[in-house]
Amino acid sequence: MTPLRSLQDIATQVQGTVVGDGSIEVTQLVHPMMATSPQDLPFAIEPQALEILPHTPVKAAIVSKEMTVPDGVLAGYIVVERPRVALAQLLNIFDKPVHAYDGVHPSAIVESSAQVDPSAKIGAFVYVGEGAKIGKGAVLMSHVTVGAEAVLGEDVLLHSGARVGERVILGNRVILQHNVSIGADGFSYVTPEKGSIESARESGGKIEAQNSEIIRINSIGTVILEDDVEVGACSTIDRANLDATRIKKGTKIDNLVMIGHNNTLGENCLVAGQAGISGSCKVGDRVVMAGQVGLKDHISIGDDVIIMAKSGVMNDIDPKSIIVGAPAKPHREVFQTLGYVNKLKDMHKDMIALKKRVNELETAQQNTGTPNEPVEV
């Protein structure tokens, strides 16, 4: 049965202020358009939501401090300073945990040398390899693979289809979404002699050699995800050649992200969907990469950098820079250039109009037989 929560208790947990009746009890957080019960609590932070609420049976809501709630619409409501922060807190309060199997599912295969904490939950068709360690409170949903000697910390959550390679280390509270791959081999190859890439670099862009053979460089290192790292669906993080590809604590990685071998990402970074990081890069703390960002290999990104969407980063970036474009440059420089381009467009239109006017004047003079005189423009 869904527990009842009073408006005042919720306000205390989200650092909000109750206006009206704080004793109102609610059972679930909903979008205003989905409110169908007096015990629903709409998250109504947009002005349009206030127009919806009078047509619902709700008694209470969450609103932002900028909003004015008309008298009589609600019996009570919670005013919050930062709606997005409040939303995160509210979703924890009204969380709906995954339906995990209690214990080890009969269809799961756990090798005899693996160590699984008694409190862990192992779902259907999970495989846990030799010497692997599964920590306290870990949840492995169906069809998860944990390779030999991998180590999973406390309260990790691995959604269906996640693959954790051999010797990979996951810290506490790591979350892997569906079909994540952690610990695949890196994309690492070499040619016996100088190939097309090396010759192009040395000659300044001229290809003077061919790739007659491609030799595989094995990846015998690992991947380390520190505490509170989250990785989105269908993303992949490759293991290092010798040491570890490391994602430091608190970093959040979106869906469909590719992180190559030997990389280090700092703490509390945000990496949005379809970003790609080539091998052997060093990314500082609190770096933000928007969607479809690409990083060249062997470069360094300073702390607190923001890389805007679709940027191609080819060189090291200083701390606290905002960059955009391909190749990426400081955003002020790029926007200034775009401003100049727009001005050139206007100048081109003015030149066309001026040329047309001059032609009209010359035609008029020719028709009247008037001698040509200078035209002031």
Ranges of each domain in the chain: 5-93, 110-183+223-330, 338-377
> pLDDT-based confidence at 163, cuts 50/70/90?
very high
> pLDDT-based confidence at 124, cuts 50/70/90?
very high
Residue 6, token pair as written in the block: 């009073």
The answer to whether 297 and 263 are in contact (CB under 8 A) is: no
Residue 156's pLDDT is what? Answer: 98
Residue bearing the bigger pLDDT, 139 or 360: 139
- Regarding pTM above 0.85, the answer is no
Question: Which residues, in sequence order, are CB contacts of 298 under 8 Å at separation 6+?
Answer: 278, 279, 280, 281
Residue 341's pLDDT is what? Answer: 64
| Residue-wise pLDDT tens digits, 65-108 | 999 998 999 999 999 999 999 999 999 999 988 999 999 999 99
Residue 346's pLDDT is what? Answer: 78
In the predicted structure, residue 50 carries a pLDDT above the cut 90:
no
In the predicted structure, residue 195 carries a pLDDT above the cut 90:
no
> pLDDT-based confidence at 331, cuts 50/70/90?
low
Residue 336's pLDDT is what? Answer: 64
* DSSP-derived secondary structure for 307-322: E-TT-EE-S-B-TT-E
Backbone dihedral angles phi then psi of residue 164, each to the nearest 5 degrees: -115, 115
Same fold, 5-93 and 110-183+223-330: no
Residue bearing the bigger pLDDT, 345 or 61: 61
In this structure, CATH architecture of domain 110-183+223-330: 3 Solenoid (2.160)
Residue 61, token pair as written in the block: 């809501």
Residue bearing the bigger pLDDT, 203 or 121: 121
In order of 63, 81, 173, 213, 343, the CA distances from 281 in angstroms are 43, 38, 25, 26, 38
Secondary structure, 3-state, 186-235:
CCCEECCCCCHHHHHHHCCCCCCCCCCCCEECCCCCEEEECCCCEECCCC
Task: Give the helix/strand (H/E) hosting 329.
Answer: strand 329-330
Of the ranges 42-51, 111-120, 248-257, 306-315, which one carries the lowest mean pLDDT score? Answer: 42-51
CATH topology of domain 5-93: 3.40.1390
In the predicted structure, residue 206 carries a pLDDT above the cut 90:
no
The residues that are catalytic are 261
H runs (alpha helix) in the chain? 7-13, 47-52, 83-93, 196-202, 331-368
CA distance 94 to 12: 15
In the predicted structure, residue 343 carries a pLDDT above the cut 80:
no
Mean pLDDT of the chain: 92
DSSP-derived secondary structure letter, 43: B
Which candidate, 152, 108, 104, places its Cα nearest to that of 126? 108
Which candidate, 26, 29, 27, places its Cα nearest to that of 45? 29
Q: What is the mean pLDDT of residues 181-208?
A: 88
